[in-house]
């Protein structure tokens, strides 16, 4: 232990300073002056009385709020254009039209790619993806799109592995909604803690899930609430963790639920007010002593008995005695309506981590520079979500499929027809990766020129450039070789660039006679 010795004078100064500080605290306490905190945000006074002073565990917050958040998010996505648009952005940017592409790069002893085996696995994966969904209504790509939307809307989604010899490659996928995971089950089971339907061991790792046998929101043929225990190896509980020790996922729209609800109501009221203003031409007012002159006139009333008048171009009318017509001019749509609405939409976009013009589809104030800055920032977020999606969904599904397909001997070489050995599972499982979709810019010529310069300067490889486009370089080489062979077979040569036309000779000027 290190001891610091201060000079006698320094000790007296420190003691005097401590005595003065203590005296100030005593005087302030007697005067009722609140003690100053080192963090202004932690102050408790009349200006901060509405702020929270205590934060509980996330799982405790979700005990009563999980089902409510899920219901409100579903309503938003079903009835609000911005909610529906956000789900479309999630599906398009995380999964894409073709889904993440499987790329197997197992090598042989010499270090060269084991191309025959890699191609066989990729072909078998693609074939299984067309028939993997248990009901037969979705391909793997569509299942992934629905799953991504479900995670964004509900906060979580469930994919169950169904193993049966009658299924293609012995494995099928069943997509279930988050409602099936019973959040009301809490306690212990076989010594494991069960929290909101998730059974975990002492390390917090999921051991099993307690699923409802029927959807709790289905009003048809409802029976007594029954659950079944499904082992963790037979189920993927997909959600994006936001806090430590989190057991269940919550909707990605949680930060904009209130704002979007209020904004939707405001827009609806503004549209109704504008419609009423366009429909109502004026108001008949009657003096207190005027006779009810219009009640007996059938043409002056509608079917409900409301007073009305006809209006034609150039028409003049005379009000009955005691009646006068007052104008009706509602203030909607207001001149500031558009600017206010854009400000609200920008708030929604920030809460959803997307560019405002992508959420609203409004490109009126967007130029190339601002769009590029916004797109670059947003695409980094999508790349982060893509990496999570590959790790949480794609790789677990691939490993389950690969194990089943290899054991059944259903992955075969294209030339010999022999099955890949099942004991090479670790080799092929570890050599696989998924390339998520990438995006093109509005000026592909500049991008192509930049890629050529990077390759020429040795700052990038063709493999890296191909991966940035969502392609595999080996596939591009194979396609080019096939194209070249096809052209040679047809006797065509389109590889040479057209030569520029020859310059026309310039006629010499005529000489004058001497």
The full DSSP string for 230-290 is EEGGGEEEE----STT--S---TTGGGHHHHHHHHHHHHHHHHHHHHHHH--EEEEE-TTS
The answer to whether residue 473 sits within a structural domain is yes
- How high is the pLDDT of residue 514? 37
- How high is the pLDDT of residue 257? 93
Q: How many structural domains compose the chain?
A: 1
Q: pTM to 2 decimals?
A: 0.79
From first to last of its 514 residues, what are the pLDDT tens digits of the chain?
444 454 555 567 667 777 777 776 766 666 665 555 578 888 888 888 888 888 888 999 999 899 999 999 999 999 999 999 999 999 999 999 999 999 999 998 888 889 999 999 999 999 999 999 999 999 999 999 999 999 999 999 999 999 999 999 999 999 999 999 999 999 999 899 999 999 999 999 999 999 999 988 887 766 678 899 999 999 999 999 999 999 999 999 999 999 999 988 888 888 888 887 777 767 767 777 766 655 545 456 666 666 666 667 776 667 777 777 777 676 766 777 888 888 889 999 999 999 999 999 888 888 878 888 888 899 999 999 999 999 999 999 999 999 999 999 999 998 888 999 999 999 999 999 999 998 887 677 777 888 888 888 888 888 888 877 777 787 788 888 888 888 888 888 766 555 555 555 555 555 544 3
Q: Look up residue 242 and give its two tokens.
A: 């936001």
CA 464 to chain centre: 26
- How high is the pLDDT of residue 36? 59
Domain that holds residue 466: 440-485
Helix, strand and coil content of the chain, in percent to the nearest 5, comes to 45, 15, 40
Contact at 8 Å (CB) between 417 and 395? no
Nearest in space to 178 (alpha carbons), one of 215, 205, 221, 141: 215
- Phi–psi pair at 179, nearest 5 degrees: -60, -25
CA 259 to chain centre: 18
The answer to whether residue 404 sits within a structural domain is no
272 contact partners, CB below 8 Å, separation of at least 6: none
The answer to whether residue 150 sits within a structural domain is no
The answer to whether residue 450 sits within a structural domain is yes
How many other CB atoms sit within 10 Å of the CB of residue 291? Answer: 13
The answer to whether residue 445 sits within a structural domain is yes
Contact at 8 Å (CB) between 345 and 351? no
The answer to whether residue 456 sits within a structural domain is yes
- How high is the pLDDT of residue 2? 47
Strands 323-327 and 282-286: antiparallel
In angstroms, the CA 327 to CA 286 distance is 14
The answer to whether residue 469 sits within a structural domain is yes
The answer to whether residue 153 sits within a structural domain is no
In angstroms, the CA 206 to CA 194 distance is 9
Contact at 8 Å (CB) between 327 and 282? yes
Instruction: Kindly provide the b/e burial profile for residues 110-122, where b requires at least 16 CB atoms within 10 angstroms of the residue's own CB.
Output: eeeebeebbbbbb
Contact at 8 Å (CB) between 118 and 105? yes
299 contact partners, CB below 8 Å, separation of at least 6: 310
């Amino acid at each position: 232990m290190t001891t610091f010795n201060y000079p006698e004078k320094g000790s007296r100064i420190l003691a005097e300073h401590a005595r003065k500080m203590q005296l100030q605290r005593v005087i302030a306490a007697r005067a009722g002056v609140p003690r100053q905190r080192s963090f202004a945000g932690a102050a408790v006074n009349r200006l901060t009385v509405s702020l929270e002073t205590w934060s509980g565990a996330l799982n405790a917050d979700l005990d009563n709020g999980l089902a409510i958040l899920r219901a409100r998010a579903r309503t938003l996505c079903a009835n609000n254009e911005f909610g529906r648009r956000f789900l479309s952005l999630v599906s398009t940017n995380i999964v894409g039209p073709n889904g993440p592409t499987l790329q197997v790069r197992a090598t042989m002893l010499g270090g060269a790619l084991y191309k025959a085996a890699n191609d066989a696995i990729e072909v078998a994966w693609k074939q299984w993806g067309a028939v993997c969904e248990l009901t037969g209504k979705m391909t793997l790509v569509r299942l992934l799109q629905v799953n991504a939307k479900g995670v964004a809307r509900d906060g979580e989604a469930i994919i169950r592995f169904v193993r049966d010899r009658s299924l293609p490659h012995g494995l099928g996928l069943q997509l279930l909604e988050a409602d099936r995971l019973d959040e009301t089950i809490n306690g212990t089971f076989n010594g494991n803690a069960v929290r909101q339907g998730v059974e975990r061991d002492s390390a917090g790792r999921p051991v099993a899930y307690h699923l409802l046998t029927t959807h709790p929101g289905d009003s048809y043929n409802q029976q007594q609430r029954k659950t079944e225990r499904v082992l963790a190896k037979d189920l993927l509980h997909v959600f994006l963790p936001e806090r430590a020790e989190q057991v269940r996922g919550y909707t990605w729209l949680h930060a904009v639920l209130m704002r979007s609800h209020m904004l939707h109501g405001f827009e609806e009221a503004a549209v109704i007010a504008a419609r009423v203003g366009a429909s109502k031409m004026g108001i008949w007012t009657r003096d207190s002593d005027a006779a009810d002159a219009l009640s007996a006139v059938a043409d002056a009333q509608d079917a409900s008995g409301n007073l009305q008048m006809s209006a034609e171009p150039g028409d003049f009318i005379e009000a009955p005695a005691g009646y006068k017509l007052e104008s009706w001019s509602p203030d909607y749509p207001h001149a500031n309506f558009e600017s206010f609405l854009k400000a609200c939409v920008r708030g929604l976009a920030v809460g959803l981590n997307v560019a405002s013009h992508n959420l609203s589809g409004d490109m009126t104030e967007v130029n190339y520079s601002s769009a590029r800055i916004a797109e670059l920032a947003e695409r980094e977020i999508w790349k982060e979500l893509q990496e999570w999606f590959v790790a949480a969904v794609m790789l677990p599904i691939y490993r389950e499929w690969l194990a089943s397909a290899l054991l059944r001997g259903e992955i075969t070489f294209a030339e010999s027809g022999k099955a890949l050995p099942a004991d090479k599972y670790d080799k092929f499982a570890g050599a696989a990766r998924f390339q998520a979709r990438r995006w093109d810019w509005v000026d592909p010529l500049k991008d192509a020129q930049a890629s050529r310069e990077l390759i020429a300067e040795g700052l990038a490889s063709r493999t890296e450039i191909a991966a940035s486009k969502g392609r595999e370089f080996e596939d591009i080489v194979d396609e080019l070789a096939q194209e070249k062979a096809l052209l040679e077979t047809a006797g065509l040569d389109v590889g040479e660039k057209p030569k520029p036309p020859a310059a026309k000779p310039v006629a010499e000027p005529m000489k004058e006679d001497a």
